[in-house]
Amino acid sequence: MVNNETMMFRMDKDRANEVREILSPVYQALKEKGYNPINQIVGYILSGDPTYITNHNNARSIIRRLERDEVLEEIIRFYLEHMEDKKNY
């Protein structure tokens, strides 16, 4: 039997803020070590392999506090909201 209902995924605002607070130091740690932070974070999200994230400044254990789908949701939300803002100008 096929379910034609659309699935809903929601993250509460506190969790969304936590994602932002965690991504920032992880991004900085990757940058400080000379990595391309975008490529490394994407590699981590797609594969689930934490070795894409440096241990520098404890970034690897920091990002593992989050589920990868939470990271992805916040990144997509941020991007789409900013694209929407640009269309309104």
| Domain range summary for the chain, segments of one domain joined by + | 13-87
**What is the per-residue pLDDT for 16?**
77
Q: For tokens 């894409």, what's the residue? A: 52
**3-state class (DSSP) for residue 45:** helix
pLDDT tens, position by position, 36-88: 999 999 999 999 999 999 999 999 999 999 999 999 999 999 899 988 777 76
Residue 3: pLDDT band (50, 70, 90) is confident
CA distance 23 to 1: 40
**What is the per-residue pLDDT for 46?**
96
Please give the average per-residue pLDDT across 12-34, as a whole number: 90
Contact 45, 68 (CB under 8 A): yes
**What is the per-residue pLDDT for 83?**
87
